[in-house]
C-alpha cells in the first residue's frame, strides 16, 4: 500500500478584491498570512481554520488533506 500524496497547489481568492493567485503550499509549516498581490490585503485564517489555504484556497493544507492535525 502506498501513502496518499497531498495536493500542493491551491488557488487563493482574496475576499476583498476577488483576485485569484495560484500558490504552492508548504509541507513543513502552516501559512498564517498571505498578502494579496492585487489590493495588498493581508489574508489571515478565518476563526476555526488553521491557515490561509483552509480559509481561502481551493484545496486545504496538506496536513488537513491527510486527516492529520494542522499546526494552527
Does residue 70 lie within any of the structural domains?
A: no
pTM of the model: 0.87
Does residue 3 lie within any of the structural domains?
A: no
Does residue 34 lie within any of the structural domains?
A: yes
Does residue 2 lie within any of the structural domains?
A: no
Distances from the Cα of 46 to the Cαs of 2, 4, 8, 17, 38, in angstroms?
33, 27, 20, 17, 20
- Written as nine digits, the cell of 63 is 496536513
Does residue 55 lie within any of the structural domains?
A: yes
53 and 62 Cβ atoms separated by less than 8 Å: no
Does residue 30 lie within any of the structural domains?
A: yes
Does residue 61 lie within any of the structural domains?
A: yes
What pLDDT is recorded for position 3? 65
Number of domains making up the chain: 1
- Full domain range(s) for residue 48: 9-65
Per-residue pLDDT of the chain (72 residues; tens, 9 = 90+): 456 899 999 999 999 999 999 999 998 888 999 999 999 999 999 999 999 999 999 999 999 998 888 765
What pLDDT is recorded for position 27? 84
Does residue 17 lie within any of the structural domains?
A: yes
Amino acid at each position: 500500500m502506498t501513502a496518499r500524496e497531498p495536493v500542493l497547489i491551491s488557488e487563493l481568492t482574496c475576499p476583498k478584491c476577488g483576485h485569484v493567485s495560484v500558490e504552492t503550499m508548504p509541507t513543513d509549516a502552516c501559512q498564517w498570512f498571505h498578502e494579496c498581490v492585487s489590493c495588498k490585503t493581508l489574508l489571515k485564517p478565518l476563526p476555526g481554520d488553521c491557515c490561509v489555504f483552509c480559509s481561502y484556497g481551493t484545496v486545504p493544507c496538506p496536513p488537513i488533506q491527510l486527516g492529520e492535525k494542522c499546526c494552527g
